[in-house]
Structure 1
Amino acid sequence: MSVIGSLDELTRLLTDRTGLYVRWSMGPEVDLPVTASRDDLTGIPLPGLSASPLDVEPWWRSRPLRLWAARRLYDYAHLPHVKDPRVRPWVLRGKEAARGPDNEPLVTDVEPIGWIDASVIAEAEREIDRQKGPWGHLDRSR
């Protein structure tokens, strides 16, 4: 699988395609044989891989696509620290099959696109840090 090596490269990918998601996991080799997630709270199996959509929402309006991409990565950058250090982000194309308990898309028919390099996460964090306002991780304990 290819590696997305910069925030600009990820932004270009989002300009050219729709229907992309980012998934934080140990990768397609682990995820694709089963293509199901498990609810962390209850342990219930879910009918697809939990992922975050990368398509820009209309309410984002004319704000920079690069900032959108940074925010989508920043939201879940805490996962390797709270789940497992081997958890990494990767981009996939898939079909939304359902919604999970946190209203996240559960995707099937997954086509892996590329790993997101750790340097891109650091770049996204710097981009968010430059923003004014109450930006923060979804992990509010940080």
Structure 2
Amino acid sequence: MSTPDGLPVVHTLAELAGLVEERRGLYVRWSRGPAIDLAEVSSKDDLTGIPLPGLSANPLDVAEWWQDRPVELWVARRLHDYGHLPHEKGPGVRPWLLEGREAGRGPDNEPLVAEVGPVGWIAPGVIDEARAEVARQASPWGPLRRTAG
């Protein structure tokens, strides 16, 4: 199934893990989508407003230190870590997959991706699956954005 913009939709955590296993160089970006992002392939530093040389995104490639742990759990963690962004960035912000060339690092050491090729949307149910997978772990972790206490 695809969307009106012609991009396919990833509907399950298993499907996304399968993509990550078969393709290197995939990233997830939380935004209003490629139609908006590709008009000007540049994110902006939220603190200073300085334009950045690419789109802020998070890599999905499995790190070597992950060893033989499940790829689904890796992907669940990558999605869970940034699940706060739709609430923080406003209506219409959702995750989508892309590939491209890493052009640098942003202020939070995130990859900045240029020469972007959209791969597909990640359905909301995948985020729900990721949260459930994280919650099943012996020592579940919180989202990356931690509130000061």
Is 1:14 paired with 2:26?
no
Give runs of ≥4 in structure 1 deviating > 2 Å.
none
Structure 1: tracts of 5 or more residues without a match: none
Separation (CA, whole Å) in 1 of partners of 2:52 and 2:142: 28
Give how far 1:139 is off. 1.6
Deviations 1:45-83 (A, max 9, x none): 000000000001111111110000100100101101111
Residue 56 of structure 1 is matched in structure 2 by 62
TM-score w.r.t. length of structure 2: 0.93
Secondary structure (helix, strand or coil) at the match of 2:96 reads: strand
Q: Higher strand proportion, which one?
A: 1
Q: List alignment gaps of at least 5 residues for structure 2.
A: 1-6
Specify the alignment match of 1:26 in structure 2: 32
Q: CA deviation at 1:92?
A: 0.4
Q: Which residue of 1 aligns with 2:3?
A: none
2:143 corresponds, among 132, 137, 142, to 137
Contact 2:134-2:140 within 8 A present in 1 as well: no
- CA drift of 1:15 comes to 1.0
Aligned-residue identity in percent: 61
- The number of aligned residues is 142
CA distance in 2: counterparts of 1:118 and 1:134, whole angstroms: 21
Which residue in the other structure is 2:130 paired with? Answer: 124
Cα displacement string for residues 68-113 of structure 1 (whole angstroms, at most 9, x for unaligned residues)? 0100100101101111121000000110000001000000011100
